[in-house]
Structure formats: C-alpha cells, structure tokens
Amino acid sequence: MTQAVDAINLNTVNRYPPGDLAIWIFILAELSVFAAFFGAYAFTRMNNVALFNEFQLHLDREAALINTLALITSSYFVVRAVAAIKDGHHLICSRWLVAAMGMGAVFLVVKVGEYAHHFGQGINLSTNTFYMFYLSLTVFHFMHVIMGMVILAAVAIKAKKGGYNATEHTGVETGASYWHMVDLVWLILFPLVYVMR
Amino acid sequence: MSKKTFLGMRPCTWVFVLLVTLTFVTFYIGEQQMGGLTIALFVLGIAMIKGHLVGAYFMGLGGLRGLWRWPVSVWLIIPGSLITTAFILAR
C-alpha cells in the first residue's frame, strides 16, 4: 500500500504548476490577450515606422527602467514569500508580500506620474496611433498591477493571521503566480514600447 | 524554490541579479537610441531570456515534468515570433 502511495506521489509531484490550477487557466488567457496586443502593436508599427520611432523618443525611459526594476524586485520578494511559507514562517511570508506590494506601489506611482505628464500635454488615445497603443497597452497592464496588489494584500493578511502553513499554502502560490504573470508581461512590454526601434 | 546556494546566494537571487543586469543592458541600448533590425532583435532576445528566467525560476515551472513545464516558454515564442516578423517586414 505504501509503495502504491509512493508511486502515485512520484507521478504527481512536480507535474502541476504551483497554486490553484484555475489561476493558470486564467493566466494563460491573460497572456494570450497580451500576445495579441503585442502582435497588433508590432504589425501596426510596420506601416508607421517613422511615427512610432519619433514618438517613442517622447517616452520617459528612466521611469520605465525604475518600473521594470520595481516589478522584478517585487517578483523576487514574492518568491521569497513562497519560500518562507514553505518553511512554515507565516509572519516572514507576510512581510515579504508587504514588501512586494511596496514595490508594486512604486510602479503605480511612477506610472501615474508618466500619465499625468502625458495628459498634461493634451495627449490622449486620439493623438496618434503610437499613443493609442502606448496608452491602451500600459493602462491595461496598470489595471493588472492593481489587481495583483489586491490579491497580494488578501494573501498577506491571511498569512499574517496564520492562515497558511508549511503544508497548506496553495493560496500563497496562487497569488504569487498571478503576480509573476504581471511581471512577465512588463518584461516584454518595456523593450517593445520603450526601446525597440 | 531550491535552498541550494552558489557562492552563498540562492538560485532565485542569482536570477534576480541577472534580470536586473539584463534590464540595464536594455535601458542602455534605449538611451543610446540604437536602432535597426539586429539591435531590435537583440533587445527582443534579452526580453525572451528574461521571460524564460521568470517562468522557470520565479513561477517555478522549470522544475516540472510534463506539459506544464512549457506554457510560458511557448507563450514567449508567440509574441516573439509576431514581433520578429513585423520588424523584419518593416525594413
């Protein structure tokens, strides 16, 4: 019997991604939408190279750098939070998650600053094709960052209350997976919109 | 996440350092306003590597067996191919 159980465990361990399987279906759906968005950007640029190259220079690359570093750092903090809960340290897990949310907040503040600058110059979705894509893509991603922070907050609160432990921490892994997806999308968005020309 | 360390750092910390380094490379290219197909594809390649690292080490897919090991890698290929095609056709 024990051998049979071990065999089952051997076949199931490391076969499925961390967290709830449903979040992965959701993540794949979200990634598909962003892939379509990226493709649309690239193929529209194909017929408007001069326009895209000109207005790309008007973007704040330093702000984008800060935002990229903020998201990478927050993702790293989330990895540490998952490691902490696997070791049974629910308070440490909660603190790493709060730190990750802090970096998420940095992203939101910097992005709002960028938007304020653009809107202050009268730039909107109708200004030109480049800004239509820039604003649509980044605002869509911005909404995902907010959503991710709400998820991280819920997980952090539950972790602080001892709702997760070394053996039951699916919720932490589920939230972490969503947050990494938000980071992953930005890692493509940043070079595509701010750098590639 | 593996607790094995290399030079005293966990694998995820090494990946974090690599991600930050590659981000600065991308930023430098942007600041120099380097353009052209080769540079664009180089920058895209860096983004693909970064995406793969996040999927494998941060999301934890690198240690899986079977189909669930590949969704992020496959996803990276889709926008990567679309962007590459569009940039080649834009020449």
> Mind listing the pLDDT tens digit for each residue in A134-192?
999 999 999 999 999 999 999 999 999 999 999 999 999 999 999 999 999 999 999 99
**Given a cut of 70, is residue A8 above it in pLDDT?**
no
The pLDDT score that the predictor gives to residue A15 is 85
Evaluate whether residue A69 is within a structural domain.
yes
What's the total number of domains in chain A? 1
In three-state secondary structure terms, A65 is: helix
For B36-85, what is each residue's pLDDT tens digit?
999 999 999 999 999 999 999 999 999 999 999 999 999 999 999 999 99
For residue A179, give how far its alpha carbon lies from the nearest alpha carbon of chain B (Å): 9
CATH label of the domain that carries residue A55? 1.20.120.80
With an 8 Å Cβ cutoff, are B16 and A72 in contact? Answer: yes
For residue B7, give how far its alpha carbon lies from the nearest alpha carbon of chain A (Å): 18
What mean pLDDT is reported for chain A?
94
- Considering only residues 60 to 79 of chain A, which have any Cβ-Cβ distance to chain B shorter than 8 Å? 61, 64-65, 68-69, 72-73, 75-76, 78-79
The pLDDT score that the predictor gives to residue A13 is 58
Evaluate whether residue A147 is within a structural domain.
yes
**Domain containing A109: what range?**
18-195
For residue A2, give how far its alpha carbon lies from the nearest alpha carbon of chain B (Å): 23
Evaluate whether residue A12 is within a structural domain.
no
Q: What residue in B sits closest to A53 (Cα-Cα)?
A: B35
**Given a cut of 70, is residue A87 above it in pLDDT?**
yes
With an 8 Å Cβ cutoff, are B58 and A76 in contact? Answer: yes
Give the Å distances, CA to CA, from A104 to A7, A146, B2. Answer: 42, 8, 25
The pLDDT score that the predictor gives to residue B91 is 85
Length of chain A counted residue by residue: 197
**Given a cut of 90, is residue A2 above it in pLDDT?**
no
pLDDT confidence bin for A101, thresholds 50/70/90: very high
Mean pLDDT for A54-71 is 98
Evaluate whether residue A191 is within a structural domain.
yes
Q: What is the rounded CA–CA span in Å between residue A104 and residue A96?
A: 12
**Given a cut of 70, is residue A10 above it in pLDDT?**
no
- Considering only residues 103 to 162 of chain A, which have any Cβ-Cβ distance to chain B shorter than 8 Å? none
Evaluate whether residue A5 is within a structural domain.
no
Query: Does B33 contact chain A (CB < 8 Å)?
Result: yes
Evaluate whether residue A183 is within a structural domain.
yes
